[in-house]
């Protein structure tokens, strides 16, 4: 108990910023109710496979034979017997094995479905995480833009008083400031939504504020045939194959046996040396008329197998389309981020530096300097938006790569 208390205290004093993306992914997978349900259902089907392979329970037989009618006077009838026995039904081994195979196939399918679900949960956590990180950056830049626009509006107002700036330019500056405030409110709302999604995935964990940037898996070439979604769709084939085996096993005859004893209770035995008699019976199924029952069920099982075979094809085509789109997006936004970082942003910063030098020399008014500085922040904002789109495309590619 003392050890448990120490561990809990250690967790309580753990800094909130210690949570990283990899840990959040692990916690989300462990806490996902759907995954927990899939695991429980898989365990149940494994147990079903054991039970389905067993013989049915025997039956206790109680009966009477040669009871006289209509008076039911068994004492005066020497042929009347009271019987006690046991019967055991023995279905064909192939049928029992097919039932167990179906349960095993279901368990394997649920395991594949769980893998696909875990990959989806990981992708959702990554999406919320990288979106939150970029929104934090966008909010910081937008707050800087809002503060700078306030100064810009004041400078325009002074310019209007001195006749350097028109009324229209002043109104445009104020409208821009209002739009940035509205944009800031929208960004804060989006940030709250993304943090709420993360909180839903990792219940009971205090999310650090702000979240720290995280590295994403490298983009690698992958074979979609091994993707958990495709394999989960193919799991239905295992079940339909087991159904075919069960339908084929229905052609194999089952059998049953029974054994028991009978006791004659009449006063005058019919010359037998003993009143206690042994009864035994063996019955064998005769699947002679199979055309409209067993054969039809076999055809139906094969039809379901053909239908199940289309599932992986459809899923793979959808994933191929998503992969093509994600690759295009990753390439386009990656180039855009590079363009902003290597050309657009340095040019904007150089223009702002030149404007500040001119202002110090008295060549231009303050509002021109502020406009140049606003342009730098606008470019930073656009580059961060492109980085977010690039990150989301990489998350999608990681998911499609099964990572």
Give domain status of residue 354, yes or no. Answer: yes
Work out the percent of the chain whose per-residue pLDDT is above 70: 94
Given this model, what pLDDT does residue 273 score?
Answer: 57
Question: Chain-centre distance of CA 175, in angstroms?
Answer: 45
Residue 358 falls inside a structural domain? yes
Number of CB atoms found within 10 A of residue 8's CB: 9
Q: What is the pTM of this model?
A: 0.82
Read off the pLDDT of residues 336-372 as tens digits, 9 standing for 90 and up: 999 999 999 999 999 999 999 998 898 888 888 889 9
Identify the domain containing residue 178 by its residue range.
20-55+91-252+287-400
CATH code of 35's domain: 1.20.1600.10
The model's pLDDT over 250-273, given as tens digits with 9 standing for 90+, comes to 899 999 999 999 888 776 655 555
- Residue 66: inside a domain: no
Q: How confident is the prediction for the chain on average, in pLDDT? A: 88
Task: Give, in order, the Cα–Cα distances in Å from 218 to each of 221, 330, 335.
Answer: 10, 12, 16
Q: What is the pLDDT of residue 269?
A: 55
pLDDT greater than 50 at residue 140: yes
Quick check: bond before 190 cis, omega within 30? no
Report the 3 state secondary structure along 179-244: HHHHHHHHHHHHHHHHHHHHHHHCCCCCCCCCCCCCCCCCCCCCCHHHCHHHHHHHHHHHHHHHHH
Max avg pLDDT among 217-221, 358-362, 363-367, 373-377: 373-377
Is the residue at 277 inside a domain? Answer: no
In a domain, residue 239? The reply is yes
Is residue 262 assigned to a domain?
no
More confident residue, 6 or 175: 175
For the cut 50, the answer to whether the pLDDT of residue 7 exceeds it is: no
Q: Give pLDDT tens digits for 48-97.
A: 999 989 999 999 999 988 888 877 777 777 788 889 999 999 999 898 98
- Using pLDDT thresholds of 50, 70 and 90, give the confidence band for residue 146: very high
Give the pLDDT of residue 17.
47
Domain assignment present for 42: yes
14 pLDDT tier (thresholds 50, 70, 90) = very low
HSE-up of 146 (CA within 13 Å, CB side)? 14
Is pLDDT of 13 > 70? no
Domain assignment present for residue 279? The answer is: no
Number of domains in the chain: 1
Region 280-300: what's the mean pLDDT? 91
State yes or no: pLDDT of 40 exceeds 70: yes
């Amino acid at each position: 108990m003392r050890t448990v208390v120490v561990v809990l205290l250690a967790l309580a004093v753990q800094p909130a910023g210690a949570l990283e993306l990899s840990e959040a992914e692990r916690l989300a997978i462990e806490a996902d109710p759907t995954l927990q349900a899939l695991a429980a259902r898989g365990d149940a089907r494994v147990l079903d496979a054991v039970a389905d392979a067993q013989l049915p329970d025997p039956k206790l037989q109680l009966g009477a034979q040669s009871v006289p009618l209509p008076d039911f006077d068994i004492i005066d009838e020497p042929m009347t017997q009271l019987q006690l026995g046991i019967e055991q039904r023995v279905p064909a081994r192939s049928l029992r094995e097919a039932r167990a195979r179906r349960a095993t196939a279901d368990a394997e399918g649920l395991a594949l479905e769980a893998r696909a679900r875990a990959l989806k949960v990981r992708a959702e956590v990554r999406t919320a995480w990288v979106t939150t990180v970029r929104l934090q950056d966008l909010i910081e830049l937008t707050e800087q833009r809002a503060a700078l626009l306030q100064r810009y509006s004041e400078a325009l107002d002074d310019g209007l008083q001195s006749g350097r700036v028109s009324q229209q330019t002043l109104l445009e500056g104020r409208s821009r400031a209002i739009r940035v405030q509205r944009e800031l409110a929208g960004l804060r709302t989006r940030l709250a939504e993304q943090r709420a999604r993360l909180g839903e995935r990792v219940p009971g964990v205090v999310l650090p504020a702000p979240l720290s940037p995280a590295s994403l898996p490298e983009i690698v070439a992958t074979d979609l045939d091994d993707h958990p979604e495709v394999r989960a769709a193919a799991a239905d084939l295992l079940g339909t194959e087991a159904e075919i085996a069960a339908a084929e096993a229905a052609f194999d005859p089952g059998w049953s046996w029974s054994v028991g004893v009978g006791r004659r209770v009449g006063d005058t035995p019919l010359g037998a040396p003993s009143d206690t008699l042994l009864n035994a019976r063996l019955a064998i199924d005769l699947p002679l008329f199979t055309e409209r029952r067993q054969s039809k069920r076999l055809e139906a099982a094969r039809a379901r197998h053909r239908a199940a075979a289309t599932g992986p094809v459809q899923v793979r085509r959808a994933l191929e389309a998503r992969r093509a789109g994600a690759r295009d997006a990753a390439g386009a936004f990656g180039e855009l981020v590079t363009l902003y970082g290597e050309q657009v942003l340095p040019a904007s910063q150089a223009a702002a530096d030149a404007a500040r030098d001119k202002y110090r020399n008295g060549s231009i008014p303050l509002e021109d300097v502020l406009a140049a500085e606003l342009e730098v922040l606008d470019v930073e904002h656009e580059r961060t938006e492109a980085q977010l789109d690039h990150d989301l495309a990489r998350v999608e590619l990681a998911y499609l790569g099964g990572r």
